[in-house]
A and B are shown apart, each in its own frame.
Chain A
Amino acid sequence: MPDVLKAPLVVEFPFTRSLGPVQSAFLTGLRERVVLGVRTTDGRTLVPPAEYDPVTAEEIRDLVEVAPTGTVTTWAWNHAPRRGQPLDTPFAWVLVRLDGADTALLHALDAPGPDAVRTGMRVRVRWAAERSGAITDIACFEPYDGGPAQPDGHCGDFADPVTGIVAPARLDYTYTPGRAQTAHLDALAERRIVGERCPSCRKVYVPPRGACPTCGVATSERVEVGPRGTVTTFCIVNIKARGLDIEVPYVYAHIALDGADLALHGRIGGIPYDRVRMGLRVEPVWTGGARHPDHYRPTGEPDADYDTYRELL
Chain B
Amino acid sequence: MNREIAVVAFAQTDHRRTSEELSEVELLMPVLHDVLARTGLRTADLDFVCSGSSDYLAGRAFSFTLALDGVGAWPPISESHVEMDGAWALYEAWTKLRTGDADTALVYAYGKSSPGSLRDVLTRQLDPYYVAPLWPDSVALAALQAQALIDAGDTDEPALAAVAARNRENATANPHAQLRGPVPHGDHVVRPLRRGDCAPVGDGAAAVILAAGERARALTERPAWIRGIDHRVEAHGLGVRDLTDSPSTRLAAEHAGAFERPVDTAELHAPFTSQEIVLRKALRLGDGVRVNPSGGALAAHPVMAAGLIRIGEAAARIHRGASDRALAHATSGPCLQQNLVAVLEGDPR
Residues on A close to B: CB < 8 A? 1, 4, 6, 9, 11, 15, 17, 19, 23, 27, 46-48, 50, 54, 73-79, 82-86, 93, 95, 97, 103-108, 114, 119, 134-136, 165, 167, 169, 171-181, 209-218
Contacts and interface: CB of A to CB of B under 8 A. Distances in A.
B165 interface: no
Contacts of B143: 76-77, 93
Nearest to A15: B128
Given A106-B131, A171-B120, A172-B116, A179 B22 contact: yes
A209 to B, nearest CB: 6
Interface in B1-42: 20-26, 29, 32-33
A218 B22 CA distance: 12
A176 B73 contact: no
Given A17-B128, A106-B134, A176-B21, A48 B237 contact: yes
Given A74-B148, A173-B59, A209 B23 contact: yes
A169 B124 contact: yes
B191 interface: yes
Contacts of A171: 56, 59, 116-117, 120-121, 124
Contact of B20 (A6, A82, A212): A6
Given A135-B133, A172-B117, A50 B237 contact: yes
A105 B240 CA distance: 9
Interface stretch (B62-70, B94-102, B211-219): B62-70
Nearest to A177: B23
11 contacts: A48-B130, A82-B120, A85-B135, A119-B148, A173-B59, A174-B114, A176-B115, A180-B26, A210-B69, A212-B69, A213-B72
A105 B130 contact: yes
9 shortest A-B CB distances, which residue pairs? A178-B23, A216-B72, A104-B239, A76-B143, A84-B135, A54-B235, A77-B191, A173-B59, A211-B69
Contacts of B130: 48, 105-106, 135
A134 B133 CA distance: 8
Q: Is the interface of A mostly helix, strand, loop or mixed?
A: mixed
A78 B70 contact: no
Interface in B66-114: 66, 68-75, 114
Given A4-B21, A85-B135, A176-B115, A73 B124 contact: no
Nearest to B132: A167
A74 B150 CA distance: 10
A159 to B, nearest CB: 22
Interface string B118-129: 011101100011
Nearest to B126: A106
Contacts of A104: 238-239
Contacts of B137: 82
B151 interface: yes
B308 interface: no
Contacts of B123: 84
Nearest to A74: B148
Contacts of B66: 209
B239 A97 contact: yes
B136 A106 contact: yes
Contacts of A97: 239
Nearest to B135: A84
A238 B151 CA distance: 66
Contacts of A17: 128-129
Nearest to B55: A11
Given A85-B134, A179-B26, A77 B190 contact: yes
B102 to A, nearest CB: 18
